Amino acid sequence: MKSQEQNYDVHRRLVIGFHIVTLGLIVFSLVLGVIELISGKPIPARILEFTMSVVLVLLFVYIRSFATSNQDRIIRCEENFRCYRLTGKELDPRLTRDQVIALRFASDKEFEDLAKKAIQENLTQDQIKRLIKDWRPDFHRV
């Protein structure tokens, strides 16, 4: 756990090794693969290099997508339990996935009112986060 404070301005997390280095190397590999493919006669080695570059891009995208989808399900479950604990009722089914994800940052005092406001005014994830006064940090999501 990190001991630093979290708020709207600093709640996003960037993992240099994954988001910058790995993605940069994959893009570099893809560019080289394209250059090799169009620079001459498409021999099997060039086709393989290009294909592997495309595979790396797809892996990068899907690995991230699968992980965040799982995190979204966990957050919805946690927030549903939190809502039940605070109000005696489950989350309103009209709350969207993005709204629930944003509400996880709201303190217990703000949660119920913000959830109602999110439904009534169809607030976006960003709008909900900006309305939070007492930020509840989440250092687990990447």
Whole-number pLDDT of residue 1: 44
The mean pLDDT values, 10 residues at a time, for the chain of 142 residues are 62 78 90 83 80 90 91 94 96 96 95 96 96 86 64
User: Would you tell me how many other CB atoms lie within 10 Å of the CB of residue 122?
Assistant: 11
Helix, strand or coil for residue 88?
coil
Whole-number pLDDT of residue 96: 96
Q: Are 96 and 75 in contact (CB under 8 A)?
A: no
Residue with tokens 């001459």: 40
